[in-house]
Every structure is written in C-alpha cells, then in structure tokens.
Structure 1
C-alpha cells in the first residue's frame, strides 16, 4: 500500500496489532503489519526473553513495544520500601474470599500471588523505565505509552536510538498534551475499544484529533476489526489503524480458553467499562466479576491503580484455572479486556489470515467508494 505511515515504519499495511502474546505480534509482523507487544505482563528479564524470541521469528521486520505508564497511581505504589500488597485493605481481601466461596472457586482470602509487589511496580514510572530499557536493547521500531504522557526518560532514550514514540489518547486535550510531551505518533482510541478507554466514540474522536495534532500522524483505534472499519477510519483522516480485540480469538492468542469461548459467543452488548480489573475504567466482557464489583451491594468498590490490578489479577489466575476445570461459578466470573467488536468475533482463525482478510476487505471497500465517485 502507498502510505506515508507504511514508508515510515517499513510495513506493507498500515495495520498495527497490539497484543500481550508474542506469537500474535510475530504473526502480524510477518504478514505485513506491525505487531506491538504489551509489556506490562513481564519483568524486564522476561521481556528481554520475549523480544529475543520475536527477533528470531521476524527476521528484521519491524515491531514495537507498549508500556503502561499511568498519569495517576496510588501513593503506596511509589513508596520504594513499601510492600504494595500491604496497602490492600482487609475488606477487599475479604470480598474476594466471599466471591470465591459464593462461586465455588478454591483460593485464599486475598487471591494475591507471591510476586504481587513486583507486578504492581511495573505500572509506576520507575517500573516502566526498566521495561523501556529492556525494550530498547532490541531492534524495535516503536515504543508506545499507554494511559499517561510518555515520561521524559522514555522520549530521551527512544530519541537517542532513533525509535519513534507513540501515545494512546481518548480526548483532543490528551492528544495535544501527548504531542507536547514528545509523542511522534498518536493513537486516537474511541470508547468502543477494549482495555482503558475514554467516553468519546471513534467516529467522533478521530477527525478531531487528526485536526488538532496535524502534521503528527494519527492511528485510529476502537471498533476496528474488519477492512470496512479500517477504510472508514482512514476516511476520517487516520493514516492507519491500531487493533487489539480482533487478535484475542486468533489461534495464537494468549486468551484463556474459557474466556475465548465466552468471547466467541458474545454480542457487542456484552461489554462494559469497569474499574474492577485495574482501578481505571477499562472495557471488558460483562461477567459476574464486573457485576459483583460494580453493582453488588456487598462490594467495597474498586481500589485505585495498581492496587486493584493486584486484587484482580491474582484472583483471575485462580478463576481461569477453575473455569477450565468446568466449575460453573468460575465460568460466570471469568472475563478479559475486549472491545465492542467482540460481536464480530465468532470463529478462531490464524492471525495471518485475519490480516489478509482485513486488507482484502479494505481494498473492496475502496473499490466500492471509487465506483460511487467515479
């Protein structure tokens, strides 16, 4: 495709694929797109191992890394000598224990793993710096900052190595702030998207951001899982698209099997923006977990980030394991981040096939429009 973004990043298609799964990242990159690995699940050492594997698979083709750098976090998370898990109130631990009992999931009262403190520190500025350092030891073609503006250290280190910096935004104001902080590429993410989102739809957000930050290039995200949606995004002024949910039901995806089955059966009405997984509003599958935290009369209310992440991720590890054993209550609780396009995800396919089908449908959409205007 003849596109400025393709030339800049050395890809065949202006299709950026966010995934926590290295297999998805490599598959999309090898198919002509640009895979982006979400780094929050890894320690710096683990990230180095994952990126080494990707390097070996993609043979010099470009890919990127995404780090989670929230603008606001619980004060406990920045106390160097504190054990972050100690700041989780007893009532929240008790509530998880109550859910385990109610839904017949075996586990301890808090649901926390032994590495809870280390996990929590990954979403602080200091923790992100370790991941950034690890990522920049590899021939990555992009580093992205989710949630907050890219820290000066990220921008400086990336610029020294000639690596562009991307930033995700949900409002025009955030987009301007990200550009001022040094972002080279803006991802305008509508509320339809999975994970952390704002409240403005993609159709409304993208053209506003494009106009506000020109000539900085913009990728559209949120509600994009087909070639027709890709064509619509680029008609709004985006130079490419950033997709996440569409990879969650691929053969390569890291999605827990029970959750993948729920996604394949879900409609676009079966998602919700909830603070129950991370402490910040994040779109995910509706489940008993979201209902109990957001609507249940016994809920103590979600904690802030990263404390709620520690509560939720520790509990979900046990919930997913129980769901695979066929425990009905665990299946009710199980969920994951996914956007409203989940209603389009009704079969398991290889990631490469998803890429090719999107590009084929994109071309068909352009042909259809050209016949209208020709």
Structure 2
C-alpha cells in the first residue's frame, strides 16, 4: 500500500475526507449503500436525489447516517426539478441537518444563496467558465469542472482538463475535475495540474454497492471508451437539449448521425420498462436500477469515456483504494524524478 498522505489537499479538510475523490451524485445509483461505502473508505460521498420525494430523501439520509458518521452531500438538480418539489427537497434536507449540497446544470443563484444563508457548503458542477463564474458569485464553495468525457448528463462541450485549467486560473475556490477519470493516473494528473480532487461516476457505478442494475454494470465492464456516444435523445424528464453520454445501444444506433437536436415534445411516449410500479418510457433519462424490468437494452446506459479502464465489478472501497494507491505511486515517481 502506498503512502496516501501525498494525495491530501485542503479540500479534504473542508469536506472531512481522507482522499480527494468525490462520488458523483448519480440519480438513483448513488443511494445510501454506495455513499456509505465510499465515505467509510475515505472518499467524499454524495446521495443522488434528483427529483426524489422528500420522504425518500429522509429515508436515505437516515440510512446513510446509521452506516457512517462521515460527512456527505445531497445532490439535487434545480433546473430538472419542479420548483415546489425542489423547495420541499431542500427544506427537508435542512430540517434533517444536511449541511452540504451539490448542484448541477443551470446555476440558480437564489438556490445557492438559500444554502449559504443556512450555513451550508455548496459544491457546484459546471460545464463552462461562465457558469463557474456565476456559481462562485452566488456563493459556491467548490467548483466541479465537468468535461464532455463524463457519463450521464453533460452540460458543456470542453474537455475536463481544459475546463479545469481555465477555472484554476480564474477561480478563488477549490476546483475538482470530473469526466472520464476512472484510474489513479487520472487522479494524479488532476492533482499535478493544481486541482484539489476528482469526481468519479462510472468507476463507482460498476461496484457491488451501486444501485444500478446488474445489466448496466455488465455493459460498463464490457464497453470501451469509444463505444460511448453523446446524444440528447434520452431527454424525457429533462429540459430540451440536455445531452447525455451513454454506451451505444439500439436506440443510438437507430439515430444514424442525428445524435443531437431532438425535441422531447416530438418524441413518442412508449412504455418499455417498469420499476416499482412506475412506467418507464423509451427516450426517458431513466437508467435501469436494481429492480427495473423490461427492455433494459433500450434504456439510457450512462458511462463516461474512462469506461474502458473498468474491467470488473468490485466493492467501492477496493476501487477507491486501488485508485488512490496508483495515484500516490505516480506522484511519488514524479517527485523522485525531480529530486
């Protein structure tokens, strides 16, 4: 085992973690089980609670706290959530004593200020320098630079490290790199560039504790980075133009070269799957969870371009520690070569 203290950054002190690796708040996937595993292993955990009922949020927060005493964040997406539901979500979180939030997509300053006025921390994922400026001006404590390589919803079109370089030159708050990072080499590169950590989604989706369906995990293990595509055809439940990176399937293959430019109002509503009594539509943003049944192959199978380095399903702690040891070794070698 490598000396992981070489990885520690001021962000670790801010978030109360040992390793500068953040679990992406993947909706549906990052439930309490995965969040607890990452937190207990030394990373920083986020609960993916996009558009979830406040009662479920309370149940997840309660279960997470029973499993670990580590700090965590709740991830919400204001732009993709009905305002009344969003208000109720935030209110329930604050009532529960949740003090750290992650937001994504459009920057809504009033939402950021609400958390800050309550004494909380805000991590804001952004896809452009302009959005980063807005988030920092609104009071965000950490900026997560999401690159176009990322799996799931992708807001910008810049590469993760290119965007991070811009933010590092401009921002007055810690910068985290997100998008295509699934190995220790990526973590080492981010830290060497001056970022204070990385955020990983795909690497933790393919773990034992992830709430993703086994079919989705298997597709991640089998896929190569070049098999992912960026498309906005999986857009039902999100604003028009919301692009996602997924593993190519029969739906994306049927689009030919028309991967982008789809109007959700013109897409057919066809039920292809079911989860807990809820009908799931073709072209929706839903990905298959543990208990989903139906045509899983035609659903959104989120994965970033770093998917090619993921070759097995392992416990989240094992993936995190392998990543940390590899990063520590890379940085130690680099420091030795400069001595």
TM-score range, shorter chain: 0.7 to 0.9
Counterpart contact for 1:258–1:334, Cα < 8 Å: no
Counterpart contact for 1:259–1:334, Cα < 8 Å: no
Shift of 1:151: 4.0
Q: Secondary structure at the match of 1:49?
A: helix
Q: Secondary structure at the match of 1:191?
A: coil
How large is the Cα RMSD of the aligned pairs? 3.1
Q: State yes or no: 1:186 paired with 2:152.
A: no
How far apart, CA to CA, are the structure 2 residues paired with 1:194 and 1:159?
29
Could you say if the C-alpha distance between residues 49 and 203 of structure 1 is closer, same or farther in structure 2, counting changes exceeding 3 Å?
same
Q: Give the TM-score taking structure 1 as reference length.
A: 0.76
Q: Secondary structure at the match of 1:364?
A: helix
Shift of 1:234: 1.4
Could you say if the C-alpha distance between residues 296 and 370 of structure 1 is closer, same or farther in structure 2, counting changes exceeding 3 Å?
closer
Q: Which blocks of at least 5 consecutive residues in structure 1 are unaligned?
A: 71-121
Moved more, 126-135 or 351-360: 126-135
Question: 1:15 maps to what in 2?
Answer: 21
Shift of 1:192: 0.6
Q: Give the TM-score taking structure 2 as reference length.
A: 0.84
Question: 1:136 maps to what in 2?
Answer: 94
Shift of 1:66: 0.8
Q: Which blocks of at least 5 consecutive residues in structure 2 are unaligned?
A: 274-278
Q: Secondary structure at the match of 1:269?
A: helix
How far apart, CA to CA, are the structure 2 residues paired with 1:294 and 1:320?
24
How far apart, CA to CA, are the structure 2 residues paired with 1:69 and 1:324?
25
Q: Secondary structure at the match of 1:346?
A: coil
Q: State yes or no: 1:199 paired with 2:160.
A: no
Counterpart contact for 2:112–2:140, Cα < 8 Å: no
Question: 1:45 maps to what in 2?
Answer: 55
Name whichever structure is richer in helix by fraction.
1
Q: Secondary structure at the match of 1:25?
A: helix
Shift of 1:203: 2.1
Q: State yes or no: 1:346 paired with 2:311.
A: yes
> How many residues are matched?
314
What's the CA shift string for 1:111-132, capped at 9, x where partnerless? xxxxxxxxxxx61333222211
Shift of 1:364: 0.2
Q: State yes or no: 1:170 paired with 2:143.
A: no
Shift of 1:268: 0.4
Question: 1:359 maps to what in 2?
Answer: 324
Question: 1:283 maps to what in 2?
Answer: 245
Determine which of 61, 68, 84 is the counterpart of 2:77: 68
Shift of 1:315: 2.2
What's the CA shift string for 1:65-111, capped at 9, x where partnerless? 110122xxxxxxxxxxxxxxxxxxxxxxxxxxxxxxxxxxxxxxxxx
How far apart, CA to CA, are the structure 2 residues paired with 1:320 and 1:140?
28
